[in-house]
């Protein structure tokens, strides 16, 4: 503890940002398929540590953690999607961390406000994921990987028979996945935060 006390706040901040960024990257390597989602959507908890960093260090640092995590991923793993997937992940993760932690920073750290802030971040993040999937990701991937959107809809109908267009796909497949991912990420971050905030 004496060694930590001797570290300047600025240096400690840099160390903590680096730690959260690396943790977010490492945890994101472990992906879990969900029974109600197509194989293209897999859950990882890397976003939990981006949000946790935002809660501990502030909203701007949460965005910075998301950025550094993305840079680490691109340097170590590269990209098969011309960085589209990575940039989308950066955008939604940073949005979740920023919107959730800025609300909490303006109120206080009571559990109620942690939950409200996380719900606000979850809703905004989920809305952005729908827009990005509908207008950018799915159309771009269909061109890049030469797959038919109709084939994607056919696979989606195996889960939900009423899906017959891309809008319904984003509403009934993309949206539930992102809501579940955000809720799990927020719950994990809040539980960790309540134990390490001091």
If one counts the domains in the chain, the total is: 1
Tens digits of residue pLDDT in 158-184: 889 999 999 999 999 999 999 999 999
Q: How many Cα atoms are found within 13 Å in the side-chain-facing hemisphere of 94?
A: 16
Cα dihedral 169, 175, 176, 182 in deg (nearest 10): 150
pLDDT at residue number 146: 84
Residues of the chain with pLDDT > 90, as a percent, come to: 64
In the predicted model, what is the mean pLDDT of residues 117-134? 94
Contact by Cβ (8 Å): 185, 51: yes
Contact by Cβ (8 Å): 72, 21: yes
Task: Grade residue 2 by pLDDT with cuts at 50, 70 and 90.
Answer: very low
What CA–CA distance (Å, rounded) separates 171 from 134?
10
Owning domain of residue 7: 2-196
Q: What is the pTM of this model?
A: 0.89
Look at residue 3 and tell me whether its pLDDT is greater than 60: no
Look at residue 30 and tell me whether its pLDDT is greater than 80: yes
Q: Which helix (H) or strand (E) holds 42?
A: strand 42-43
pLDDT at residue number 1: 44
**Domain of 35: which CATH number?**
1.10.1760.20
């Amino acid at each position: 503890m004496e060694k930590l006390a001797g570290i300047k706040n600025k240096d400690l901040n840099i160390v903590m940002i680096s730690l959260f960024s690396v943790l977010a990257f490492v945890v994101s390597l472990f992906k879990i398929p969900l029974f109600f989602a197509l194989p293209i959507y897999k859950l990882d908890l890397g976003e939990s540590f981006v949000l946790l960093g935002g809660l501990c260090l502030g909203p701007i640092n949460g965005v910075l953690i998301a950025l550094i995590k993305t840079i680490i991923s691109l340097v170590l793993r590269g990209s098969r999607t011309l960085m589209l997937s990575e940039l989308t992940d950066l955008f939604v993760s940073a949005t979740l961390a920023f919107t959730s932690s800025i609300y909490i920073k303006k109120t206080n750290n009571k559990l109620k406000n942690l939950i409200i802030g996380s719900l606000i971040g979850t809703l905004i993040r989920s809305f952005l994921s729908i827009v990005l999937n509908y207008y950018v990701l799915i159309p771009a991937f269909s061109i890049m990987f030469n797959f038919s959107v109709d084939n994607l809809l056919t696979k989606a109908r195996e889960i939900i028979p009423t899906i017959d267009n891309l809008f319904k796909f984003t509403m009934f497949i993309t949206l539930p996945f992102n809501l579940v991912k955000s809720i799990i990420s927020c719950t994990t971050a809040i539980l960790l935060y309540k134990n390490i905030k001091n």
